[in-house]
Amino acid sequence: MTRVHYHRPASTFTVVAAALATAIAVLLLAAVVTLFERDAYPMERAVAAERACAGSSYVSERDACMREWLAMGGVQRIARR
């Protein structure tokens, strides 16, 4: 009976491939985190505007209040002593 010998890649190839895969994974994760951080800021402002205008009874009033609040920059003044 004849034995079949399969070619095994060199260990350096395996290490380089693993390092490259790790680098690609880290870069993709960093890109996704950056996109979430960048896109979360406008959503944060919209949520703050919605909370500031929660007292409006009608949707049209709440929408107008939110637009006005966002146009003013969403700055809430706090009285200081």
Q: Which long-range contacts (CB under 8 A, 24 or more apart) does 50-59 make?
A: 52/76
**Sequence-separated (6 or more) residues with CB below 8 Å from residue 49:** 65, 66, 69, 70, 74
CB 53 within 8 A of CB 66: yes
Listed residue (72, 50, 74, 71) closest to 61, CA to CA: 50
- Going residue by residue through the chain (81 aa), what tens digit of pLDDT does each one get? 677 777 776 788 889 999 999 999 999 999 998 888 776 667 788 888 888 888 888 889 988 998 888 888 755 544 444
What are the sequence ranges of the domains in the chain?
Answer: 11-71
